[in-house]
Amino acid sequence: MNRLRAKLEAFYNSKWLVFVAAMWVQSVAGSGYLFESISPVIKSSLNYNQKQISRLVLPIWGGLFVGVIQNLLGYGWVWLIVTHRVPTLPLWGMCILVFVGTNGETYFNTSALVSSVQNFPKSRGPVVGILKGFVGLGGAIMTQVYALIYDPDHAGIIFMVAVGPTMVVVALMFIVRPIGGGHKQVRPSDASSFTFIYSVCLVLAAYLMGVMLVEDLFAPSHNVIVIFTVLLFVLLVIPIVIPVSLTFFSSRRSPNEEFLLPKTPKQEPTSSSQDLKNEVLFSELEDEKSSEEETICVNERKKRIALLQV
């Protein structure tokens, strides 16, 4: 029992678990890419023209005004307005709501990127590339979920954007974090683990592209869409294999030993450094010698002057 508890604790403190959870967070952080799908619903329901729809994006300074307001408040209120559950706000009110909803994902991006980069300081390029790639795929992932659940309801995509990312982030908010000593969990298999993640990303992107083409060209039945969505979730869950295998099936090092990297032994002075020291000593001796010779010359000159004066 204690061994299982230790394994579960090591699994929870695995930096690869944090990285996989960050990937899942990023997979639902692409709601900003869905605005082109949301704007026609808002436009038709509220009788906005294209010029008014274009004004729904606030300038950058508006971010200082709304602060830390999250995704649920922005898109949730938009959904309530579109479905006529609450009174309609004026155009400036809709601008604020869309701004709040769209910029709520910046908190997801920042948390996922900062925690993962701190855990993998020597692999920042792969980490940032993979996580930002999932942001781009997030819109396609949520579109597929919408096709499964809310397809007849056009306003359902706004509800899904409001609730879906909120549920995922709340479920993973205590996992996505910097691991104490995570930057020291160095394994020889890290390179192969990143290669595996890259492969999953490529397969996931190709799969989503194929699914969207099939759904646009052939209008598959609901059962086929269910199968497509189940396979999508399988691809999203596959990366969890890495922290599971490294925690429960790896016998190279114990979890506690991973936090301790071997200290670099102190190197003895090399011949070049010894030569440098000798050169410094020689130069000092030469300086002392030259100063002594100069003193002797000065004294000898004074003696000669004294003899001439006599």
Q: Would you say the pTM of this structure is higher than 0.85? A: no
Asked whether the beta carbons of 114 and 25 are under 8 A apart, the reply is no
Q: Position 254: which residue type?
A: S
Joined tokens for residue 250: 């790896």
- Show the 3-state SS of 190-230: HHHHHHHHHHHHHHHHHHHHHHHHHHHHHCCCHHHHHHHHH
CB atoms within 10 A of CB 188: 7
Interval 168-226: pLDDT, tens: 877 877 777 777 765 566 677 788 888 999 999 999 999 999 999 998 898 888 899 99
Half-sphere exposure (CA, 13 Å, Cβ side) for 222?
Answer: 6
Joined tokens for residue 301: 């000159």
Give the mean pLDDT of the chain. Answer: 75
Nearest-angstrom CA–CA distance, 230 and 224: 10
> What 3-state DSSP class applies to 264?
coil
Please tell me the least confidently modeled range out of 33-37, 98-102, 240-244, 270-274: 270-274
